[in-house]
Amino acid sequence: MGFQMIRAFSTFGKIFQRTFATVKMNPLSPAQLRLLPGPSCFFDEPVQVKVNGLSPQQKVELRCKVTDDKGVVYNSSGTYLADHNGEVDVSSQPSLAGSFTGIEPMGLFWSLKPDQQHSKLTKRDVVSPIQFLFEVVSGHGEVLAQEINTRRFMADGVRRIPVKDGRIRGCLFLPPGPGPFPAVIDIYTLGGGISEVRASLLANKGFVVLALAYYGYQDLPKAVSKLDLEYFEEAVTFLQKLPEVKGPGIGVLSISKSGELSLAMASFLSGISAVACINSCSANVLFPLHYKDMVIPPLPSDIKRAFITESGIVDIRDTLADAAAEENLACVIPVERTNCNILFLVSEDDRNWNSLYHAQLATKRLRDHGKANYEIITYPKAGHFLEVPYMPHCPSGFHGAVGKVVNFGGDPKTHAEAQIDAWKKIQEFFKKNLGCVSDSYQSML
């Protein structure tokens, strides 16, 4: 048994004990809880929740519980009335009460709430799965049935390889088979380190993915005062040289702060063919961006323009200066330089900043230079962190640059629907602009 597998089982065992140690179930209950098509799936796949063996018209509560890698516990619930056969099908029957109501096939996922406010579900170790506990509970609080949904991040044969090459640090995910495969650099948001969730799931689809850190990881600087675009250029070169990479063009997947980094990569670096920006700014923010002898200064901001919401959370949406103002044009990423295709995925209720306005500014620059190499997809009522499908909504959290808990926006249900659609659009975009996955890999799916 390999080291990674041993570590995965060890990590899973600790999480299992934290999450499920207090579970007690009536062994005589005839009720059965089923997860279809099976109890194990990938994180970005839906499951159908069914219960049978209940009394006709029996009222029960379905509960879902998961503990993340930080020990934060997330819970959701829905109250259901069994039909005349004593069955409940979450995909076709309404929840009458709980953390969601109505017919919501994946409501037990998108309505999950953390036991520690302002938390964002954390999964650092994608080698091990994450476990969701489902329970059927009677009106007297008795657990009648339970099942565990094992949600995996890596398909069989996907290789996870830590990267320490020159200056670049990160983690490489290679699909099974010889390839060559289209390749993507995945850069996450402000906060340091790397997030491997998107990268691992995208590798399952037949992409080589480099989850790239740029500070706060291994021997990289713990904090950042400026950013060097040549570091990201090294990452592009690293991928292009891999025999498993199809090339010649590389894709970039970005969100929030990394969005303008990806736009800068497309504008100044060769070898970038497709950029997917999730809720990006059109100007450089927070730190000076250096490339050779050029420096793009950060867009000014004024925290005095923030306000406190009714729930006591800081709203910073309007704190950035206007990137279209004459005095701020030096801060704007010159996207008109690029010929690569750009996909802007925009949440209209993004309270981190006005993502729609910035996408419109960027695309106007492209149009003004006779270019049509872009697409904007908007999601009303979605918040800032558009993640992979079935990741719980994060409406607020600590913002490192602000030093306070801020509002990220979004309605949980609508946000969940946006995540499903955005994930599909991202894959379609990269397949179209980087080339489809190889025939040999398709035959393995």
Question: Catalytic: 302?
Answer: no
418 Cβ contact list (under 8 Å, min separation 6): 347, 379, 382, 386
Locus of tokens 């069994």? 82
Question: Catalytic: 369?
Answer: no
Nearest of 51, 15, 26 to residue 151 by alpha carbon: 15
Question: What is the distance between the alpha carbons of residues 237 and 243, in angstroms, rounded to a whole number?
Answer: 12
Alpha carbon 333 to chain centroid distance? 24
Nearest of 201, 193, 145 to residue 390 by alpha carbon: 201
Q: Give me the half-sphere count of Cα atoms (radius 13 Å) on the Cβ side of residue 348.
A: 8
Question: What is the distance between the alpha carbons of residues 84 and 180, in angstroms, rounded to a whole number?
Answer: 55
Rounded to 5°, the CA angle 212-217-219 comes to 115
Question: Catalytic: 10?
Answer: no
Residue type, 292: K
Instruction: Say which of 358, 384, 393, 415 is annotated catalytic.
Output: 384
| Helix 257-268 × helix 229-241 angle, to 10° | 70
Question: What is the distance between the alpha carbons of residues 112 and 217, in angstroms, rounded to a whole number?
Answer: 29
Q: Is the peptide bond before 39 cis (omega within 30 degrees of 0)?
A: no
In this structure, what DSSP letter does residue 434 have? H
Tokens in use for 232?
């990201």
434 burial class (0-12, 13-18, 19+ CB within 10 angstroms)?
Answer: buried
Tokens in use for 20?
């499920």
Instruction: Say which of 256, 262, 301, 347 is annotated catalytic.
Output: 256
Instruction: Say which of 350, 358, 396, 438 is annotated catalytic.
Output: 350
Residues serving a catalytic function are: 256, 350, 384
